[in-house]
């Protein structure tokens, strides 16, 4: 198919996955006059609730994929565990952006690291644990180290920290003896991310670099722009654009990076919009989700500059619902704060239920206020 395909409304767009990232894609696309079909097995999903058509079926269901191929001008994804091989079966009949090879690389940590090394992108020290002999060979590795399943991990799930090699066998056992990477646990000074879009004809647009704080392996608070030495944001952005080009990526992609002293390592690539890019909904002319629509439809990419000096985003996890619905009045009555709730039926601990964006002068000041408003909503 031509790389210059331009898809215009009221075309039907398809998206695999029904979470909050898909929900914002649906909103952006429908605002622009497109229709959207969501493939998501959960009948009560955030994206399915707002879709024109919700196919309630497994992500690899043949009939559902058939319907996507037959009715959608382009099919994209909102989470990296959408099965690349299933999507490959429809890629000869409709556009699939990002390309299934790029999805396949990003959904397997072993393939992802091999790709990054092959293109000369910096990755932290790691080895693989795939069988008994690699398990034994990892005795020479540096500890503490984090064992991560190669596939299906997210929000820190499928990861176990090992203080020494003696703990590795039990850790691998409890992860089900599936293929894993073992990463040296790095003394992180900072975590950064860059969200960018690329079209099939190689136009790119990157958002400013964000700085991310995680709690128990899950993004907690993110502020933008990151405070970095002169030249560092440009270098990080160039690295991410290089990665997107080498992946032949089309759509919106995020690269997570670790900063240790003067070194920057690529942690992982998310082949979709990213939690750390949610601020673009409130602080940029083009949200990362509208940008995803624009990129996969071959349109002009929208502006990515911040309209404000600095901002922060705080995630709202299900834990905040321990005492019932949080009290949103302080957040909603503060003109610097923007509340987003994803419409999830059940608030489970560790589940991302929404986020707050705060635009209050500097990025740091905004982060403090975002945390305070979140505490108040939880009753503290
Ligand atoms: P996920 O797919 O769940 O986002 P990540 O590999 O990004 O998994 O890990 C989640 C978080 O755990 C990271 O953002 C970071 O805070 C921490 N982490 C992961 N790997 C390492 C590492 N090698 N060294 C130090 N911290 C790490
Ligand atoms: Mg991550």
pLDDT in tens, 64-107: 999 999 999 999 999 988 899 999 999 999 999 999 999 999 99
Confidence of residue 210 (pLDDT cuts 50, 70, 90): very high
Q: Does the pLDDT value for residue 281 go beyond 90?
A: yes
Tokens of 131: 């069988």
Instruction: Give ion ligand 2 contacts, CB < 5 A.
Output: 256
Taking the C-alpha atoms of 307, 215, 266 and 254 in order, what is their torsion angle to the nearest 10 degrees? -40
Quick one: which H or E segment has residue 311?
strand 311-317
pLDDT of residue 1: 46
Rounded Cα gap, residues 343 and 340, in angstroms: 9
Q: Does the pLDDT value for residue 358 go beyond 90?
A: yes
% of residues, the chain, pLDDT over 90: 96
Rounded Cα gap, residues 358 and 374, in angstroms: 11
Distance 47 CA to ligand 1 centre (A): 27
**pTM for this prediction:** 0.97
Out of 147, 156, 218, mutate this one to test ligand 1's pocket (max ligand atoms within 8 Å of CB): namely 156
pLDDT of residue 184: 98
- Give 380's DSSP letter: -
Taking the C-alpha atoms of 188, 191, 192 and 195 in order, what is their torsion angle to the nearest 10 degrees? 130
| Helices 288-296 + 20-31 axis angle, to 10 | 70
- Closest residue by Cα to atom 23, ligand 1, is 185
Out of 106, 146, 352, mutate this one to test ligand 1's pocket (max ligand atoms within 8 Å of CB): namely 146
**pLDDT (mean) for 266-280:** 98
- Closest residue by Cα to atom 22, ligand 1, is 185
Give the residue from 223, 237, 238 showing the smallest Cα distance to 277: 223
Residue 305 vs residues 204, 274, 314, 350, 370: alpha-carbon distances, Å: 14, 17, 21, 32, 22
pLDDT of residue 336: 98
- Closest residue by Cα to atom 15, ligand 1, is 217
Instruction: Please write the tens of the pLDDT for every residue from 21-49.
Output: 999 999 999 999 999 999 999 999 999 99
**Cβ atoms 138, 182 nearer than 8 A:** yes
pLDDT of residue 3: 54
Distance 156 CA to ligand 1 centre (A): 7
Instruction: Please write the tens of the pLDDT for every residue from 148-163.
Output: 999 998 888 899 999 9
Residue 93 vs residues 72, 87, 216, 293: alpha-carbon distances, Å: 10, 11, 42, 20
Distance 94 CA to ligand 2 centre (A): 30
Burial 236-262 (b: 16+ CB within 10 A, else e): bbebbbebbebbebbbbbbbbbbbeee
- Locate the ligand 1 atom nearest the alpha carbon of residue 185 and give its number: 24
Distance 221 CA to ligand 1 centre (A): 15
**pLDDT (mean) for 254-274:** 97
Rounded Cα gap, residues 292 and 77, in angstroms: 10
β-bridge partners, 194: 255
Residue 138 DSSP SS3:
helix
- The pairing of strands 145-149 and 218-224 is unpaired
Quick one: which H or E segment has residue 198?
strand 190-198
Instruction: Please write the tens of the pLDDT for every residue from 316-346.
Output: 999 999 999 999 999 999 999 999 999 998 9
% of residues, the chain, pLDDT over 70: 99
**Cβ atoms 164, 140 nearer than 8 A:** no
**Cβ atoms 254, 277 nearer than 8 A:** yes
Ligand in closest contact with the CA of 182: 1
Rounded Cα gap, residues 17 and 57, in angstroms: 11
- Locate the ligand 1 atom nearest the alpha carbon of residue 212 and give its number: 14
**pLDDT (mean) for 232-236:** 97
Distance 139 CA to ligand 2 centre (A): 26
Ligand in closest contact with the CA of 160: 1
Looking up tokens 């409890």, which residue turns up?
A: 174
pLDDT of residue 153: 86
Instruction: Please write the tens of the pLDDT for every residue from 291-318.
Output: 999 999 999 999 999 999 999 999 999 9
φ, ψ at 68 (rounded to 5°): -60, -45
Rounded Cα gap, residues 18 and 190, in angstroms: 31
- Closest residue by Cα to atom 8, ligand 1, is 156
Distance 19 CA to ligand 2 centre (A): 17
367-370: list long-range contacts, CB under 8 Å, 24+ apart: 367/221, 367/223, 367/312, 367/314, 369/312, 369/334, 369/336, 369/337, 370/221, 370/312, 370/313, 370/314, 370/337
Ligand in closest contact with the CA of 350: 1
Distance 147 CA to ligand 2 centre (A): 14
pLDDT of residue 241: 98
Rounded Cα gap, residues 145 and 186, in angstroms: 8
Residue ranges around ligand 1 (CB below 6 Å): 124, 146, 148, 153-156, 183, 185-186, 188, 191, 214, 217, 256, 267-268
**pLDDT (mean) for 188-214:** 98
Distance 267 CA to ligand 2 centre (A): 7
Confidence of residue 260 (pLDDT cuts 50, 70, 90): very high
Q: Does the pLDDT value for residue 272 go beyond 70?
A: yes
């Amino acid at each position: 198919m031509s790389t210059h395909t331009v898809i215009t409304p009221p075309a039907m767009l398809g998206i695999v996955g029904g979470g909050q990232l898909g929900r914002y894609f649906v909103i952006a696309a429908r605002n622009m006059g497109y229709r959207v079909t969501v493939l998501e097995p959960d009948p009560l999903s955030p994206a399915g609730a707002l879709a024109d058509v919700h196919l309630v079926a497994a992500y690899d269901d043949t009939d559902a994929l058939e319907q996507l191929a037959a009715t959608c001008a382009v099919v994209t994804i909102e989470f990296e565990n959408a099965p690349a091989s299933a999507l490959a079966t429809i890629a000869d009949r409709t556009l699939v952006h990002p390309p299934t090879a790029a999805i396949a690389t990003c959904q397997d940590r072993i393939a992802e690291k091999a790709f990054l090394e092959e293109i000369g992108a910096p990755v932290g020290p790691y080895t693989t644990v795939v069988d008994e002999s690699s398990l034994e060979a990892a005795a020479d590795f540096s500890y503490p180290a984090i064992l991560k399943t190669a596939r299906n991990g997210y929000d820190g799930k499928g990861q176990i920290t090992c203080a020494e090699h003696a703990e590795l066998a039990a850790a691998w056992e409890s992860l089900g003896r599936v293929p894993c990477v073992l990463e040296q646990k790095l003394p992180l000074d900072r975590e950064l991310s860059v969200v960018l879009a690329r079209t099939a004809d190689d136009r790119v647009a990157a958002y400013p670099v964000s700085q991310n704080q995680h709690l128990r392996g899950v993004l907690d608070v993110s502020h933008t722009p990151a405070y970095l030495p002169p030249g560092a944001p440009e270098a990080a952005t160039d690295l991410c654009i290089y990665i997107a080009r080498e992946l032949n990526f089309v759509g919106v992609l995020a690269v997570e990076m670790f900063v240790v002293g003067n070194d920057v390592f690529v942690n992982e690539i998310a082949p979709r919009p990213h939690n750390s890019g949610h601020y673009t909904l409130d602080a940029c002319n083009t949200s990362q989700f509208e940008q995803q629509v624009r990129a996969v439809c071959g349109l002009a990419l929208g502006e990515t500059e911040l309209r404000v000096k600095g901002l922060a985003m705080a995630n709202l996890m299900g834990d905040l619902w321990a005492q019932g619905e949080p009290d949103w009045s302080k957040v909603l009555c503060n003109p610097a704060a923007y509340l987003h709730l994803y419409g999830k039926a059940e608030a489970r601990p560790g589940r991302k239920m929404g986020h707050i964006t705060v635009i209050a002068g500097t990025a740091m000041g905004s982060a403090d206020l975002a945390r305070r408003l979140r505490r108040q909503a939880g009753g503290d």
